[in-house]
């Protein structure tokens, strides 16, 4: 298949899917399934039409099509503009091959730099997610079940206020704190605990701290929501039956909050593995995070097809990982989006 | 024998608000004991203090003679059945029942066997594998009972466990609860604001009002010999005739009321001049009498025939009186609108502080 046909296919795909679903809904309605008032009957023609068009166009042009074109692009070779659409513009796996072997032609040796960065990114994202959970769970539990309303409002304010700053500024704040001549080093030095500055940034402390902090709220809120809806009497009932505190969390709170935990961890994991600002600002000289590599494919190497392939690999791996974990936790997507 | 549960001048305060004040009583081993009182009088607070979720501000709770101060809810030999039941939605029926055993480290096989046995006791043997939300209200009730019994508590605490059920099921569950209590033989402490429930089920009742225990006694005593005006008014129907004591003697007191001088028992030994209320039950009033300890004239305004009983709403010079006639008495009831003499014995009326 030539890539110009591919463009047509990609462009048509979402419309076909939408049309098929619309047809299915129409058939169901004809058969009398779900016999409530129709969408247009409920909203009126003008509003209904506007909603339908707005949502469809937004979803198609802002979300679906760009992604699909990225996927499509990842299967094409890097060509000078003149050669596009020419004889060499055919679908190929060379961008994926490059990720694995560091060359578009040979498979002799692994692409160690990129593969290492990739696995490090996944592993570090898992650790950051776990750390985030460990920090947020007690806090969310405290806010949802223990603290009074005034205390909760104060905590929420403290949690949210720093996020009024943008992500880059927050990342730089960590540099200011953790740099070799930063606040923390000065404090430790002043207290006589160290006699030479510690290179926290080189040790990636800054990177992990920044990454953990960046998506804290996305862990807190799903957890808080889930634990909030737990009837405090269940906790008391478990205690009354003799359960010590850790058992109450293991048997009652965590199983109950599982959907919230699932969505919080999914969000944090996906966003951490795809984070760009924190790794760029806080990554030490030796640390290689995967997203800057993807970024470089686009803007340093000007190799958009390869960049797309890299981004797509990261996305697919993360999705597969999240799905596997959800499956292990016997959660389905419907539950975590509640 | 030591009491199963003993409250010793127990006071519970929330900030400035006193929810329970100076409660003292002993609940015997194997007794079915009820707390009866209007909403907000502190019943749940007492139960939560016994089970260990609240520490008394003053005084002590003793269970089996042992002071419970500092002993957490998870370490007390009590089991609480919550007003809302609080079954665990993330567990099956059997797992709910077995949970208390699980936290005690009882093995899977053993605890499941025990859960099954208990589910049989509450006639739910065939529902063990179901989820909690698949059960009916009455079935959930019984799961909660089985779950509490599984930990073999010395004392079972029940917080209005039947209030969410419809009338029919409630009556059925009353009998069921009583039967279960007889079978397992442990102390039940039961909370209700339904006096019928308290009277039919309990060995003894504590009547509460605004954080205070007004009277403790068996159902008959509480009903027939109320010690305070509140008890007389709250337990069962009554006619209250306020006035002033003008004469006392030989255990009786005469009260000057709006309908005349009336004589009744004076259990609290009120003195002459005291503000008092004379209480007399509707079934103790007899129309058509010419001679009695107390006699007053009233007009029947309304007549409600209920088969075995007849309710008469009477008016004695502006004071409303309710009269209840048994089937035999109501064969020839007084005619509406015609004055009739209503009499009652001094022994059937109580003069209590107003
Ligand atoms: N944690 C608390 N903080 C402040 N006040 C409380 C608290 N718990 C209970 N109270 C107050 O104590 C009083 C007694 O409450 P309690 O729950 O014991 O009543 P109750 O007799 O069980 O009523 P009901 O029949 O409605 O359940 C109420 O006025 C209530 O507002
Ligand atoms: Mg209550």
Nearest-10 crossing angle of helices A112-141, A94-101: 90
**CB-based contacts of A116: which residues, under 8 Å, 6+ apart?**
A288
Strand segments, DSSP code E, in B230-288 are 239-249, 252-257, 260-265, 275-280, 286-287
Q: Are the beta carbons of B84 and A256 separated by less than 8 Å? A: no
Q: What is the pLDDT of residue B24?
A: 94
In the CATH scheme, what is the code of domain A106-336? 1.10.3720.10
**Continuous segment of H or E residues that includes residue A111:** none
List pLDDT tens digits, range A113-150: 888 889 989 999 999 999 999 999 999 999 999 988 99
**Residue B69 φ/ψ region, left for φ over 0, alpha for ψ in the -120 to 50 degree band, beta for the rest:** beta
DSSP line for B133-174? GGS-HHHHHHHHHHHHHHT--SEEEEESTTTTS-HHHHHHHH
Give the 3-state secondary structure percentages of chain A, helix then strand then coil, rounded to 5.
Answer: 75, 0, 25
- From the CB of residue A135, how many other CB atoms can be counted at a distance below 10 Å? 15
Q: What is the mean pLDDT of residues B175-199?
A: 89
The whole model's pTM is what?
Answer: 0.81
Residue A244 to residue A240: CA distance in whole angstroms: 10
Q: What is the mean pLDDT of residues B151-159?
A: 93
Answer yes or no: is pLDDT of B171 > 70: yes
Which residue is closest in CA terms to ligand 1's atom 5?
Answer: B14
Q: Which residues pair with B325 in a beta bridge?
A: B310
List pLDDT tens digits, range A311-338: 999 999 999 998 988 888 877 766 666 5
Query: Of B72, B56, B138, which Cα lies nearest the Cα of A238?
Result: B72
**CB-based contacts of A251: which residues, under 8 Å, 6+ apart?**
A238, A243, B88, B99, B102, B103
- Return the number of CB contacts < 8 Å for A and B: 62
Q: What percent of chain A has pLDDT over 90?
A: 29
Q: What's the Rg (C-alpha) of chain A?
A: 25
**CB-based contacts of A146: which residues, under 8 Å, 6+ apart?**
none
List pLDDT tens digits, range B194-233: 888 899 899 999 999 999 999 999 999 999 999 999 999 8
Nearest residue of B to residue A254 by CA position? Answer: B90
- By CB atoms closer than 10 A (0-12, 13-18, 19+), residue B298 is buried
Sheet holding B155-159, edge to edge: B78-81, B155-159, B187-192, B32-36, B204-209, B212-217
Q: How confident is the model at residue A284 (pLDDT cuts 50, 70, 90)?
A: low
Which residue is closest in CA terms to ligand 1's atom 19?
Answer: B40
Q: What is the pLDDT of residue A337?
A: 61
List pLDDT tens digits, range B36-76: 999 999 999 999 999 999 999 999 999 999 999 999 999 99
Portion 237-256 of A in contact with B at CB < 8 A = 237-244, 247, 251-252, 255-256
ipTM, two decimals, is: 0.82
**Domain residue spans in chain A?**
1-92, 106-336
Return mean pLDDT, chain A: 85
Return mean pLDDT, chain B: 90
- Cα–Cα distances (Å) from B262 to A172, B97, B214, B292, in that order, read 90, 58, 25, 11
Answer yes or no: is pLDDT of A5 > 80: no
Q: What is the pLDDT of residue B241?
A: 92
B32 reaches A (C-beta below 8 A):
no
A38 reaches B (C-beta below 8 A):
no
B86 reaches A (C-beta below 8 A):
yes
Q: Which two tokens stand for residue A248?
A: 């109450």
- From the CB of residue A219, how many other CB atoms can be counted at a distance below 10 Å? 28
Q: What atom of ligand 1 comes closest to residue B47's alpha carbon?
A: 18
């Amino acid at each position: 298949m030539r890539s110009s046909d591919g463009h047509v296919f990609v462009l048509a795909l979402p419309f076909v899917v939408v049309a098929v679903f619309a047809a299915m809904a129409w058939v169901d309605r004809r058969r009398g399934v779900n016999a409530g008032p129709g969408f247009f009957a409920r909203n009126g023609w003008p509003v209904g039409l506007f909603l339908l068009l707005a949502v469809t166009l937004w979803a198609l042009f802002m979300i679906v099509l760009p992604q699909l074109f990225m996927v499509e692009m990842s299967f094409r070779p890097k060509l000078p503009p003149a050669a596009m659409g020419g004889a060499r513009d055919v679908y190929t796996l060379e961008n994926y091959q490059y990720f694995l072997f560091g060359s578009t032609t040979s498979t002799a040796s692994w692409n160690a730099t990129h593969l290492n960065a990739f696995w490090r990114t996944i592993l570090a994202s898992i650790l950051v997610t776990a750390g985030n959970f460990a920090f947020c769970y007690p806090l969310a539990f405290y806010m949802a079940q223990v603290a009074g309303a005034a205390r909760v409002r104060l905590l929420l304010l403290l949690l949210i206020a720093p996020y009024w700053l943008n992500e880059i500024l927050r990342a730089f704040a960590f540099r200011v704190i953790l740099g070799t001549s930063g606040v923390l080093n000065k404090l430790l030095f002043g207290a006589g605990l160290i006699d030479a500055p510690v290179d926290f940034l080189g040790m990636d402390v800054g990177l992990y701290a920044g990454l953990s902090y960046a998506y804290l709220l996305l862990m807190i809120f799903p957890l808080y929501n889930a634990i909030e809806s737990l009837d405090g009497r269940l906790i008391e009932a478990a205690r009354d039956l003799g359960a010590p505190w850790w058992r109450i969390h293991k048997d009652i709170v965590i199983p109950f909050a599982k959907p919230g935990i699932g969505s919080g961890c999914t969000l944090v994991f996906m966003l951490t593995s795809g984070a760009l600002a924190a790794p760029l600002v806080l990554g030490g000289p030796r640390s290689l995070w995967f997203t800057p590599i993807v970024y470089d494919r686009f803007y340093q190497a000007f190799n958009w097809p390869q960049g797309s392939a890299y981004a797509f690999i990261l996305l697919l791996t993360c999705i597969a990982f999240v799905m596997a974990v959800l499956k292990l936790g016997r959660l389905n997507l419907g539950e975590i989006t509640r | 024998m030591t009491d199963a549960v003993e409250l010793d001048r127990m006071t519970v305060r929330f900030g400035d608000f006193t929810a329970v004040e100076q409660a003292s009583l002993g609940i015997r081993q194997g007794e079915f004991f009820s707390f009866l009182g209007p909403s907000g009088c502190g019943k749940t607070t007492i139960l939560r203090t016994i089970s260990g979720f609240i520490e008394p501000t003053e005084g002590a709770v003793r269970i089996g003679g042992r002071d419970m101060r500092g002993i957490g809810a998870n370490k007390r030999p009590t089991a609480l059945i919550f007003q809302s039941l609080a079954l665990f939605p993330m567990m099956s029926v059997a797992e709910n029942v077995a949970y208390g055993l699980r936290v005690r480290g009882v093995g899977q096989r053993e605890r499941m066997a025990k859960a099954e046995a208990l589910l049989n006791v509450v006639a739910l043997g065939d529902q063990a594998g179901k989820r909690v939300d698949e059960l009916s209200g009455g079935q959930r009730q019984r799961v909660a009972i089985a779950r509490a019994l599984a930990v073999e508590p010395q004392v079972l605490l029940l917080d209005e466990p039947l209030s969410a059920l419809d009338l029919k099921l409630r009556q059925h569950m009353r009998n069921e609860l009583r039967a279960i209590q007889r079978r397992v033989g442990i102390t039940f402490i039961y909370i209700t604001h339904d006096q019928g429930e308290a009277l039919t089920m309990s060995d003894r009742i504590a009547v509460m009002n605004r954080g205070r225990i007004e009277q403790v006694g068996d159902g008959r005593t509480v009903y027939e010999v109320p010690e305070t005006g509140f008890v007389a008014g709250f337990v069962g129907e009554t006619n209250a005739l306020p006035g002033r004591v003008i004469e006392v003697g030989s255990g009786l007191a005469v009260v000057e009321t709006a309908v005349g001088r009336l004589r009744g028992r004076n259990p609290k030994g009120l003195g002459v001049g005291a503000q008092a209320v004379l209480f007399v039950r509707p079934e103790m009033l007899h129309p058509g009498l010419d001679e009695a300890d107390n006699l007053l004239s009233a007009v029947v305004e309304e007549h409600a025939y209920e088969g075995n009983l007849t309710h008469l709403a009477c008016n004695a010079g502006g004071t409303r009186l309710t009269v209840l006639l048994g089937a035999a008495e109501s064969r020839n009831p007084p005619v509406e609108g015609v004055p009739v003499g209503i009499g009652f014995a001094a022994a059937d009326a109580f003069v209590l502080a107003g």
